[in-house]
Amino acid sequence: DIVMTQTPLSSPVTLGQPASISCRSSQSLVHSDGNTYLSWLHQRPGQPPRLLIYRISARVSGVPDRFSGSGAGTDFTLKISRVEPEDVGVYYCMQTTKFPFTFGQGTKLEIK
Amino acid sequence: EVQLVESGGGLVQPGGSLRLSCAASGFTFSSYWMHWVRQAPGKGLVWVSRINTNEGITSYADSVKGRFTISRDNAKNTLYLQMNSLRAEDTAVYYCVRGGEQLGDYWGQGTLVTVSS
């Protein structure tokens, strides 16, 4: 199975400041079709996850443009340009290149 | 509006069985792969199973292979997960997830399965 490793596991941030989460996969996420199926999700307490970004950098409709994804191969990053109160919660990276699909451990974003 | 509504969770003894259902609406259910993902209390997300549009392809995590069976009824717009020989480590919230180009763009609210004596 592909292991997804996120850093940091906890990130205290100041409102209005940027935040960054890294995700590394144990093998390349480039699919045989040429696409890289790396997504980012956000989960608030008591809620199901919400898809933010798919295929490394494509934002889901309705997701604010302060969220951006980047990376290639085995190293990926989610950036929030200016953290808002509603951004708190846990962020997961997810690979759907190879089954079984796997998730990172999660990064808890908290407000300082 | 896309909706996925899970049901069928509850308390079951080790070795018991449960059948989860996921009622889909607001999209052409028969055109999408569907998935089950679970989350143990206070833990992260784990993929459980997936099924293609016409039940021709199913896949399972090793931890549930041989015990769980995914299926769907496209006429009823419903996804199922039959869970047999349940163990304490199967205790989790089970989410129904839509597949497709933006895999994971819709999740149900989840149904809690508790395996305990």
pLDDT value for B56 = 81
Q: Decide if A37 and B103 are in contact by the 8 Å CB cutoff.
A: yes
Q: What percent of chain A has pLDDT above 70? A: 100
pLDDT value for B54 = 84
Instruction: Please give the angle made by the CA atoms of A48, A6 and A97, to the nearest 5 degrees.
Output: 75
CB of B68 closer than 8 Å to CB of B49: yes
Sheet holding B68-73, edge to edge: B3-7, B18-25, B78-83, B68-73
A105-110 average pLDDT score:
96
Task: Report pLDDT digits (tens) over B48-69.
Answer: 999 999 878 999 999 999 999 9
A9-14 average pLDDT score:
94
Closest CA to B74 of B90, B95, B51, B58: B51
Nearest to A48 among B44, B61, B110 (CB): B110
- Give chain B's residues under pLDDT 70: none
Chains A & B: contacts with CB separation below 8 Å: 51
Q: What percent of chain A has pLDDT above 90? A: 98
Nearest to A49 among B46, B62, B107 (CB): B107
Q: What is the mean pLDDT of chain A?
A: 96
Residues of A with CB under 8 A from a CB of B: 37, 39, 41, 48-51, 54, 58, 60, 92, 94, 96, 99-106
pLDDT exceeds cutoff 80 at A69: yes
Q: Decide if B104 and A49 are in contact by the 8 Å CB cutoff.
A: yes
Q: How far is B15 from chain A (nearest CA, A)?
A: 25
Task: Report pLDDT digits (tens) over B37-47.
Answer: 999 999 999 99
Task: Report pLDDT digits (tens) over A31-64.
Answer: 999 999 999 999 999 999 999 999 999 999 999 9
Give the number of other CB atoms < 10 A from CB of residue A39. Answer: 28
